[in-house]
Amino acid sequence: MAFDYVKKVRICEVGLRDGLQNEKTILTVEDKVDLLKGMIKAGFKVIEVGSFMHPVKVPQMANTDEVFKAMQDFDVPEDVELRALIPNKRGVDRAVACGCKKVKLNVSASLGHNLANLNRTPAESVAGFAEAVNAAKENGLDISGSISMAYGSPWDDDIPVDEVKKIIEAYMAVGITEISLSDASGMAYPSQVYNICTEVKKAYPGNTWWLHFHNTRGLAISNIIAGMQAGMTQFDASLAGVGGCPFVPGAAGNVSTEDVLHCLDEMGVETGIDIDQTIALSRKIVELIGHKADSYVLKAGQSKDLKLPLPVRQEKK
């Protein structure tokens, strides 16, 4: 059977949000803006700049508003999307005030995770979607949605795909058709990813999809390829593999952007992103947070850089 997969994908860089939200070191506005400008220069067309969560709960994201304000003086290309995560209508209000043009709602398919993350049941989160969506549309903001624990949860074990579909349909009911399926717990595996992606693409052909995988157990790139085989073309990744979900034990470890780019480059898949510039940005973010991160490419370099000299044959005496 032929190994078939899509040949062009988009990568959303989430290091500034999902990467940094789990770090002890809080980056300054200046550091974040510097990284953000570097991402745009490297070719990233979608970047998650931060979140408008409560600053007490996620202090690493407290300066997201100031980052967006600082970027108003920068000539951001029209084809570059800068987005932020929001919990509710209050997040929309903050987005409007600081110039953010794209926001993303989140709900978990897991009851336990949603309580830990948002202090609400999934049903309560869904009930609040309409208010936030209406506020976003009234203010000219684009809005998308994400579903955490779409592949499994340490609280609930298996998540039936029908539960995921209920949330997809709740998003659609309020007019959201761009949806991310997230593996915050790092429990997804390739055959499962392929089956779920194939099913939702067939059931909701008018929707746009993003996949978000953590590399907690080393399967993130395998899961991305499985998604590509199912026809998915949009994936999240984080510089140097920084960060993870602060509410899930042991789940730190987004998939490294440079590892994903290296894999896709080797496969001949078009991304439009410069891997060398990305590697430089990853080294910079590692320096800023002050500790090593989970990136194979940062440790071993790219395959194309391996140019060892041939050993000289020793003649036997």
pTM comes to 0.94
Name the band, by pLDDT with cuts 50, 70 and 90, for residue 250. low
What pLDDT does residue 169 have? 92
**The predicted structure's pLDDT at residue 306:** 86
Strand partners, 256: 238
Are 59 and 26 within 8 A, CB to CB? yes
Q: How far is CA 167 from CA 81, 110, 123, 173, in A?
A: 25, 11, 9, 10
Backbone angles phi, psi at 211, to 5 degrees: -120, 135
The pLDDT score that the predictor gives to residue 119 is 83
pLDDT one-digit tens code per residue, 155-173? 886 789 998 999 999 999 9
Question: Residue 15 pLDDT more than 80?
Answer: yes
Distance, CA of 109 to CA of 153 (rounded, Å): 8
Q: Residue type for 163, please?
A: E
DSSP state of 61: G
Q: How far apart are CA 63 and CA 225, in angstroms?
A: 35
pLDDT at 22: 85
9, 269 in Cβ contact below 8 A? Answer: yes
Distance CA 45, CA 11 (A): 8
Reply yes or no on whether 245 is catalytic: yes
- CA atoms 152, 153, 154, 160: torsion sign: negative
Q: What are phi and psi of 189, to 5 degrees?
A: -140, 155
Which regions of the chain does DSSP assign to beta strands (E)?
Answer: 10-13, 46-51, 81-85, 102-108, 142-148, 178-183, 208-213, 234-237
Q: Tell me the HSE value of 193 on the side-chain side, using a 13 A CA sphere.
A: 30
Q: Please list, in sequence order, all residues whose beta carbon lies within 8 angstroms of the beta carbon of residue 291, skipping any fewer than 6 positions away.
A: none
Structure tokens at 109: 């398919």
Would you place residue 245 in the very low, low, confident or very high pLDDT band (cuts 50, 70, 90)? low
pLDDT band at 246 (very low <50, low <70, confident <90, very high): low
262-283 pLDDT, tens digit each: 999 999 999 999 999 999 999 9
In this prediction, residue 2 carries a pLDDT of: 62
Tokens for 81, please give them: 């999307």
Q: For the residues 62-79, what does the mean pLDDT come to?
A: 96
Give whole-number Cα distances, 77 to 80, 169, 224, 251, in Å: 6, 33, 27, 34
What would the mean pLDDT of 244-271 be, rounded to a whole number? 85
157: left (phi over 0), alpha (psi -120 to 50) or beta: left
C-alpha–C-alpha distance, residues 139 and 135, integer Å: 6
> Which residues are CB-contacts of 153 (< 8 A; sequence separation ≥ 6)?
108, 109, 110, 112, 113, 159, 185, 187
Name which residue leads in pLDDT, 113 or 208.
Answer: 208
226 pLDDT more than 60 = yes
List the catalytic residue out of 100, 197, 245, 263.
245
Q: Which residues pair with 270 in a beta bridge?
A: 8
Instruction: Give tens-digit pLDDT for 116-145.
Output: 777 888 878 877 889 999 999 999 999 999
User: Please, is 137 exposed, middle or buried when counting C-beta atoms within 10 Å of its C-beta (0-12, 13-18, 19+)?
Assistant: middle
**Residue 14, SS3 per DSSP:** coil
Question: pLDDT digits over 96-119, tens only?
Answer: 999 999 999 999 998 877 787 778
As a whole number, the mean pLDDT across the chain is: 93
Residue 251 has pLDDT above 60, yes or no: no
**Domains present along the chain, CATH in parentheses:** 10-305 (3.20.20.70)
Structure-token pair, residue 3:
């190994």
What is the pLDDT, as a whole number, of residue 262?
A: 98
